[in-house]
Amino acid sequence: MRSLIQILFLFLAWCNLSAAPVLPNVALPSYAISISNAENLNQESKIKTGVLNYAKSDISKNSLSQKVVFGESSVLENRAREANVRVVQGAGSSLIASIKSRLTLLKNPARPILSGEGIPLINGKQTRVFGGSKFDNVVTGSYGDASKKYIWTIDDNGVNVGLEQTPIGGNSVIKHTNLSSQAYSGGEVWFITQNKVHVNAWSGRFGAGANMTKAEWEASIDAFKSNGYEVIVEPYNP
């Protein structure tokens, strides 16, 4: 009996000793770890927030800096463009005034107007004021090619052109009087490219055949130049 009591006592003592560490070894470390994880997560969140705020601030500064730079660049570019426009417009106005000062005599045609030759050309005629734009959708070709030849006149409306091989009034081609009833000058022109022309003074009504003067001829060349063309000039000595 005494032996059974001693065994039971030893068994209970062993149970107490083996059960006591359960709380500190299991529960407490788990609690400590959870606190540590929470603190780490909180710290990481603060760090991420700080980094993001710094990045946003830096981006905002860079964006503002770029806007300032772009703004300054745009202002400088606009000023330069305005200066260029003023220079071009000034030169254009001077050239136009010079052209008009040399075109003083509006002439009647030097030849009689035959059937159909006095009918105003509507479809196919293009007119540009001095200093205006280039002519639209012209047929390009080499100088001397009859199928690509245009005729031109200059009157109070500006520079007029029309493709010569345009039927009108029963005729297979147009004459200078189909472009202008009166003109300062006239001739033929080939559009070598959309930006380059080859001009001569061959018109019996308003050009060489009508005693066009040197001043009128040179003013006519400048009229084409004022519209943005590079001009190849066929010699004419009045």
Range of the domain at 75: 1-102
Asked whether residue 156 falls in the same domain as residue 190, the answer is yes
Asked whether residue 79 falls in the same domain as residue 135, the answer is no
Asked whether residue 229 falls in the same domain as residue 193, the answer is yes
How far does CA 150 lie from the centroid of its chain?
A: 30
- Cα separation, 4 vs 20, in Å, equals 24
What percent helix, strand, coil does the chain show, rounded to 5?
50, 15, 35
Is pLDDT of 70 > 60? no
Q: Is residue 160 part of a domain?
A: yes
Asked whether residue 80 falls in the same domain as residue 167, the answer is no
- DSSP 8-class letter at 205: T
SS3 228: coil
Is pLDDT of 23 > 90? no
Task: Copy the structure tokens of residue 58.
Answer: 């830096």
Is pLDDT of 52 > 70? no
Q: Is residue 203 part of a domain?
A: yes
Pick from 20-34, 83-97, 162-176: least confident: 20-34
Asked whether residue 83 falls in the same domain as residue 138, the answer is no
Model confidence, pTM = 0.63
Q: What is the pLDDT of residue 196?
A: 98
Task: Copy the structure tokens of residue 72.
Answer: 């300054």
Asked whether residue 85 falls in the same domain as residue 4, the answer is yes
| CA atoms within a 13 Å half-sphere pointing along the CA-CB vector of 138 | 29
Asked whether residue 98 falls in the same domain as residue 148, the answer is no
Asked whether residue 82 falls in the same domain as residue 154, the answer is no
pLDDT band at 39 (very low <50, low <70, confident <90, very high): low
Last residue of a domain, one of 69, 102, 135: 102
SS3 202: coil
Asked whether residue 62 falls in the same domain as residue 145, the answer is no
111-152 pLDDT tens trace = 999 999 999 999 999 999 999 999 999 999 999 999 999 999
Q: Is residue 91 part of a domain?
A: yes
Asked whether residue 173 falls in the same domain as residue 210, the answer is yes
Q: Is residue 116 part of a domain?
A: no
* Of 118, 143, 142, nearest in space to 234 by CA: 143
Asked whether residue 74 falls in the same domain as residue 170, the answer is no
Q: How many domains does the chain have?
A: 2
Q: Is residue 183 part of a domain?
A: yes
Q: Is residue 8 part of a domain?
A: yes
